[in-house]
Chains A and B, each alone.
Chain A
Amino acid sequence: MTAIQDLEQNPIVRKLREWSAQAVAEATVFRGELTVVVPRERLRHVAEFLRGDPELQFTLLADITATDRFPLEPRFELNYHLVSLAGHERLRVKVRVAASEPVADSVTTVWPTADWHEREIFDLFGVRFEGHPDLRRILMPEDWEGHPLRKDYPTEGFL
């Protein structure tokens, strides 16, 4: 794990910090993969910048993954895996979400593909997305109770 000071030379991190001092809370490289942690309330702004900036052009949102770190806090982490087709780059944007208020901004307006990914996270983790056009369960039945991928949800048996 590398601290942010060492990553100052990374062009993506530098660009983000030049654009806004509060955009990157933390940046790490693990196994050659760059992760930037973005404050939850700045997610949509950073997403718009990453997609629209002519040098970065992270136009393809490959995936959104949530992880449950129960019992640690903040409990949920949302990982946005981005691809820049022009720059041949990958980037992981991470947002931390507390268990007390499991809400994040939807990025469906920036990348329409986020629609089903966010529905899946809502379904399996119970994290809600502000501004999502149609936030319903996607894999589990509509009347299902609980969120199966949470760590306090049993793998076998009933709740």
Chain B
Amino acid sequence: MPTTVQTVTGATETMVLNMGPQHPSTHGVLRVVLELDGETVVKARPEIGYLHTGIEKSCEAKTYSQAITLTDRLDYLAPLSNNLCYCLAVEKLLGLQVPKRAQYIRVLLTELTRIGSHLVWLGSHAIDLGAMSMFLYCFREREEIMKIFEMVSGQRMMTSYFRIGGLALEPPAGWLAPVERFLNMFPGRLQEYENLLTKNRIWLGRTVGVGTLRAEDAIALGVTGPTLRASGVAYDVRKFFPYCSYEEFDFDVPTHNDGDCYARYLLRLEEMRQSLSIIRQAMPKILPEGPIRTEAPGIVPPQREKMKTEMEALIYHFKIFTEGFSPPPGEVYQAIESPRGELGFYVSSDGSPKPARVKVRAPSFVNLQALPKLVEGRLIADLVACIGTIDIILGEVDR
């Protein structure tokens, strides 16, 4: 990097510092090459790829159903969002309709995922800025969500619960009781977080006016999700391009105009409240009984009982798990609103049982590009706050 930049203090000599890839506040293995004038960041250049696992390439060697397990590992704080987006993309490619009951369960669980993901964000962002106790509180509440996931899917994190055509299995009896308990408990806890942080002078000092992103810049840089909405643009995929019956739910898309770290903090708290409202609306819609998978012989595995009594069901089961199914040639792009922004899956089929191309439009990957815009001209300590508020997951950035 050249060292002849005109710096803030007028000096022409700057220092180059590697922040990461092993640094506690870079949330994974992110390296930021910083050009510093004293403590002021003159230039920041994110370097990524340390967690590149070739998931997109691996998908091309798997059948459509097998690839679901890989999607969990992209954004490991929101595995159900990834499952959902991939399944929706393949269902679109096949032209499958999913039963309403499965759609509502999907909505409920992805909104719980959003709350869980925002809790990890809040906890880790707060600990970056020196508020240790928030981290413990947030993980305490997230644990309740994890227990619900474990109850429903058998897994805490790598759920793979959404499958092409519906859900993997029927949720256990009484699974809505812990959701209800969570709904009753959580608003009070959110208020506690607000009491601790929202008017806290140290918190305000570290976040107000820090890392301001203007709306035009955010759109030009492709930023989506809470980071974009905190800059005043009400773009939410759930409202703009509804999927999974989101058009039946009544919720607001909160926005802020300041575009700084504090606006992004307030916005995510408000989003958690909206998610609670969506979950509350979804609960009465989920009937105690009904299909969780669509009837699509040769694509969706048949019910266990049918396999024991019907020859065709047994044959389809065998064929699905040995060679998979072949969607018609074509390409689709399906986007959803993940906790971090627009998560998109581009799936292209050449008519064979394996996808010709799976591309993940990872919101973290795109949002991270805005980092230099947020931090250049500010202190290193602000960089930590900014990395925190754009909420990146390196598993998704590097794929």
State in angstroms the CA–CA spacing of A155 and B344 once bound together.
23
Contact flag A63-B49 (CB < 8 Å), given A115-B369, A155-B57: no
State in angstroms the CA–CA spacing of A100 and B95 once bound together.
36
Contact flag A63-B357 (CB < 8 Å), given A90-B241, A138-B49, A139-B49: no
A49 — which chain B residues lie within 8 A by C-beta? none
Interface assignment of B306: CB less than 8 Å from any CB of chain A: no
Which of A59, A67, A112, A139 has a CB less than 8 Å from the CB of B48? A139
Report whether A30 and B332 are in contact in the complex, using a CB–CB cutoff of 8 Å: yes
State in angstroms the CA–CA spacing of A27 and B258 once bound together.
41
State in angstroms the CA–CA spacing of A62 and B367 once bound together.
11
Total A-B residue contacts, Cβ distance less than 8 Å? 93
Which B residue sits closest to A65, measured CB to CB? B359
State in angstroms the CA–CA spacing of A69 and B399 once bound together.
22
Question: B104-112, B113-121, B187-195, B218-226: which lies at the A interface?
Answer: B218-226
Report whether A138 and B48 are in contact in the complex, using a CB–CB cutoff of 8 Å: yes
State in angstroms the CA–CA spacing of A69 and B356 once bound together.
8
Which residues of chain B from 334 to 351 have a CB within 8 Å of any chain A CB? 335, 342, 344, 346, 348
Report whether B331 and A155 are in contact in the complex, using a CB–CB cutoff of 8 Å: no
Contact flag A67-B342 (CB < 8 Å), given A61-B222, A88-B241, A113-B221: no
Report whether A112 and B221 are in contact in the complex, using a CB–CB cutoff of 8 Å: yes
Interface assignment of A85: CB less than 8 Å from any CB of chain B: yes
Which A residue sits closest to B350, measured CB to CB? A69
Which of B93, B221, B348 has a CB less than 8 Å from the CB of A67? B348
B222 nearest CB across to chain A (Å):
3
Contact flag A79-B222 (CB < 8 Å), given A116-B366, A140-B52: no
Main secondary structure of the interface of B (DSSP, over half): mixed
Which residues of chain A from 75 to 105 have a CB within 8 Å of any chain B CB? 79, 81, 83, 85, 88, 90, 92
A35 — which chain B residues lie within 8 A by C-beta? 331
Report whether B332 and A33 are in contact in the complex, using a CB–CB cutoff of 8 Å: yes
Report whether A63 and B332 are in contact in the complex, using a CB–CB cutoff of 8 Å: no
Report whether B235 and A148 are in contact in the complex, using a CB–CB cutoff of 8 Å: no
Interface assignment of A157: CB less than 8 Å from any CB of chain B: no
Interface assignment of B376: CB less than 8 Å from any CB of chain A: no
Report whether B366 and A81 are in contact in the complex, using a CB–CB cutoff of 8 Å: no
Report whether B344 and A63 are in contact in the complex, using a CB–CB cutoff of 8 Å: yes
Which residues of chain A from 118 to 159 have a CB within 8 Å of any chain B CB? 137-141, 148-149, 153, 155
Which of B49, B58, B93, B348 has a CB less than 8 Å from the CB of A140? B49
Which residues of chain B from 351 to 396 have a CB within 8 Å of any chain A CB? 356-357, 359, 361, 365-366, 369
Which of A31, A60, A153, A155 has a CB less than 8 Å from the CB of B95? A31
B346 — which chain A residues lie within 8 A by C-beta? 63, 65, 79, 81
B54 — which chain A residues lie within 8 A by C-beta? 148
Produce 1/0 per residue, B60-97, CB < 8 A to A: 11000000000000000000000000000000110100
State in angstroms the CA–CA spacing of A111 and B218 once bound together.
11
State in angstroms the CA–CA spacing of A35 and B348 once bound together.
13
Contact flag A59-B219 (CB < 8 Å), given A65-B359, A149-B57: yes
Report whether A62 and B342 are in contact in the complex, using a CB–CB cutoff of 8 Å: yes
Interface assignment of B333: CB less than 8 Å from any CB of chain A: yes
State in angstroms the CA–CA spacing of A115 and B348 once bound together.
24
State in angstroms the CA–CA spacing of A61 and B361 once bound together.
11
Which B residue sits closest to A30, measured CB to CB? B330
Interface assignment of B56: CB less than 8 Å from any CB of chain A: yes
- Beyond contacts A67-B356, A67-B357, A148-B54: 19 other A-B pairs, Cβ-Cβ < 8 A, are A30-B330, A31-B330, A33-B333, A60-B235, A61-B222, A62-B342, A63-B361, A65-B333, A67-B348, A79-B333, A81-B333, A85-B240, A113-B222, A139-B48, A139-B52, A139-B398, A140-B49, A140-B52, A141-B49
Q: Which residue numbers of A lie inside 8 Å of B, CB to CB?
A: 30-31, 33, 35, 59-63, 65, 67-69, 79, 81, 83, 85, 88, 90, 92, 111-113, 115-116, 137-141, 148-149, 153, 155
Nearest 7 Cβ contacts at the A-B interface: A113-B222, A63-B361, A139-B49, A65-B359, A139-B52, A67-B357, A155-B61
Q: Please name 23 pairs of A and B residues whose Cβ atoms are closer than 8 Å in the assembled complex, sorted by A.
A: A33-B332, A33-B333, A35-B331, A59-B219, A59-B220, A60-B224, A60-B235, A62-B344, A63-B346, A65-B346, A65-B359, A67-B356, A79-B333, A81-B344, A81-B346, A85-B240, A111-B222, A113-B366, A116-B366, A138-B49, A139-B399, A140-B49, A153-B57
